Structure 1
């Protein structure tokens, strides 16, 4: 990746600098011209550098697009310092910026000088291995022992929809991360791991792992007493589940452009993967920098960008004793608190009109009591299933399937009646033909 070495003393003067191997380009500013403006320009250089690094670390499958971005940003770096000490020689003690050039690399053979360094390629793996290094979508599934093999049923629902040939645009571009949150004794997990690993035709889509990022309970004295909590105040079990979710996110960070939350007892609905592709692509058109999009209920069907995983996992851990995770996630992406509003940075949170997951159990992992009736596949997601701030708004987007829909008319499209695409017993039309909301 591009590295910028700035060795400047308190007065803004250079005290030397070093490269990172290979030849380096130097931009030397006249020390006599060093001023507060110089420091400001150096700050701008650092900002540009961060942009370059983020671009260089982006999906290698999008490397051609990234190359353009990185090349443009590298020109900004080369322009840093222009007009500051113009005409200065290469000697003296001026402010020094070293930018080691990045040699050509195999990941982009069509480019004469590939701006993605070998170190970045090595960190993500080679694209010549037959598999994408960074996926389009990571699906995170925490799992615990249950009486019935809900995990197996859930994974089979995904297998029915995962691409089977390399002509499919999503072939090898999806990964399911299944994390055992219980340790030894979770037989369904180990049976699934054995079944879907090795020579299984869909093994490329699965990553089985144990919880490795263990963090302490912030209120151990309450845990010692096994505090039960309630619907709005997390007890010791819910706090543990919050930490489990944070562990899963840390394990999944960097694997895909988007991350999806779901659970081991939530089947994906018919055409669910197609609806996800449609939903995310349309959300990108409506709001290219959108923060999240909601397509189910509870801690399920929430999609966020990979770059927000660290932010949200930290937020969960910090506030785990205050609210359950399915409340904290809404607080976070809706910017309901000063801290979360700062993290939101004015980006939109969005909602899909329909539910794309089917719940297998009758007891929620976040609630001890038997659950009320859950929405079926492609039932509309409004209140009270979701909070008002996250639910699809039918008044403003009655003919659309993505909310908010206040976009340029040239971009906006009519919604698709997804409810009519699912006719089985798990679907809206199969479960309750007279119920409204099928699209």
Structure 2
């Protein structure tokens, strides 16, 4: 099939290795075809998406069969899991109802699916209710993978290394299907431990900010990545101090990119171009972007004025599962993310409109800017900023930080000395840790309870 084009005729010694277990391209295709034989005729198939070789074989096999694949998060609780299986209409679960044996082999030939056939139904995090199923076609996934491959100069000569979850866009669509489409060997480290990254010998590495922060905390591991070609960070904003430290230790200024489940990757810096701390680059091939104010007008592209980001391109979702409402407005998808766009087209993501735009005393403040300022303080290890109700200001800038040896007034004054005074936190709460999801994103709504 087209999405898995890199499997056919590949001569790499190990197409995929997960936590030390490997399959050649030929063996992977034969094992996946055996899975396709098991599920052929099923319209929708769920996969228990654990960080294992079985998950890679199961997803590949289900796609070969023509089924729509529903990755079930490995850390899903009973209620979330039941909702995903019930809502998606999956008729069976690979790894539970149908065992996956990577030693089995089959040579059955399957016709490639049509471009508008459903490839994946990916469930969102459900921060505003029950998770919603995002329906992605084969054509959308192919367009998304090909666009980032062009931006990152990703070829079959690369050796991709990552340890990301196999139920998100970053770890599964880019990190597995992307490698199979490009024909590049994949080494999944099981977990994204710095030592495993250092030992993997890759040319291309994927990570989220939490991964890169932990790599930087082990300088020997970071220095081992000097042999790589490209380090990519995504799924959440990479704090500027982490960007700079990773660059100093590894010799690589990381590529940052922006995307979401509904759109795949739409904006990225380039392998052969500039990489700016705190920015995610420019639109990838086939993508258009725009900003919109609350009143529907478009703010100036001055790099400072905040608006909600809208995107258009061939990698967008077809629809939400079970919904008849179109997910786009004349081809434009409203992301719910706040951004600025500079005169040169460079994008900076400020945060989510629902949690990261703080309207304080008549000012519109992006939480991400305040977080970046806090993180430059040597005592601060983590920071999250939200707006909390205030009778006088409307919303007050409120910070939650993980820090040692510093006081609330010190941090308030520190931010006031780096940014406009009105952007300073009005209060700072010291916590032992910030609540995060599997991809390392801070779950701000939990801080606001």
Q: TM-score, normalised by structure 1?
A: 0.26
**Bigger share in helix:** 1
Q: Which has the higher strand share?
A: 2
Q: Structure with the greater relative contact order (CA < 8 A, sep ≥ 6): 1 or 2?
A: 1
